[in-house]
Amino acid sequence: MKQLSKETVNWLEVGAEEAGQRIDNYLIRWLKGVPKSHVYRILRSGEVRVNKGRIGPDYRIQGGDRVRVPPIRTAQRDVSSGHKSGPRIEFDVLYEDASLLVINKPSGLAVHGGSGVSLGAIEQLRVARPEARFLELVHRLDRDTSGVLMFAKKRSALVTLHEQLREGRVLKIYLALVCGHWRDAKRAVKVPLQKHVLANGERRVSVNDEGQLAHTIFRLRRAWADAKPPFSLLEAELKTGRTHQIRVHLMHLGFPIAGDDKYGDFKLNKTLKKHVLKRMFLHASQIGITHPDSGKPLRFDAPLPAELEACLAHLKHDHAEAI
């Protein structure tokens, strides 16, 4: 990605892989470090032109469009060391080709910037790959959830994968350690969930009959029934992709995820944090898709992080019942 001039008018030509996105998102990608408010100001003022004509912020660019960008004299911060950006991260790449990039996201990293964090996973990758003309999230993971995270490197791939997600053709498997003795080998849970915002602005999800259908299939992987307290390791297969779905379903059933600071057992979490577990034990272990170009089935597996393996090792294995 070339460096734009701060002193003269810039002309950009839209490539085929960039077609279809909104002009505001396109400019934000190019004008790294420039406040979004400034990007929208130059759009409203007509200083940005496409094919010599004025456009609004909702205009969707097409391949071959010529975009006029005025001189940007706003001081651009150094996103590699800016305030609240955090250290640069070397990602564990599970798979990459011309259409896809799949990583094993670490716990504690947001998938995108916001809420006081300027660089999430997508921003970190864009900084590390300035030559990438297109790089977008295919789906999301909670900040404290680790595991498989997919990015599209072409708009056509993004559209195809979003279609697979909507149609329920993507296999998504998580591993969760819960407090309690889970007895069923397999249990399907269909409980509607509704999002709401607390007075302090925090986003929460709760069980509500007026909410959206949420479907999770749980399978028991291992139980520590005689431990004090008892724990169970579950495999969770998402049939729908609602916000905080696994966490709220398990809380609703009386099996909070170990280390969950939103919906968990806060007293237990405090004890776990002192001794063995300093994060939420929820890991996106596997995703299966159809390749957006070749049509071949693909499966991506992310091994459990060392800190979660250590937590399992800490449990009393002589009481474990392997399933």
Q: Which residues participate in catalysis according to the annotation?
A: 142
- What is the spatial distance between Cα 264 and Cα 70, in angstroms, rounded to a whole number? 50
- Preceding omega of 87 cis (within 30 degrees of 0): no
The two beta strands, 146-152 and 282-290, are parallel
- How far is it, in rounded angstroms, from Cα 38 to Cα 35? 5
- When computed from its CA atoms, the radius of gyration of the chain, rounded to whole angstroms, is 22
3-state secondary structure 11-51: EEECCHHHCCCEHHHHHHHHCCCCCHHHHHHHHHCCCCEEC
Residue 47 vs residues 12, 122, 175, 197, 239: alpha-carbon distances, Å: 14, 28, 50, 37, 46
Determine contact, residues 197/203, Cβ cutoff 8 Å: yes
Sign of CA dihedral 287, 283, 234, 308: positive
Burial bucket for residue 52 (CB in 10 Å: 0-12, 13-18, 19+): exposed
Three-class SS state of 237: strand
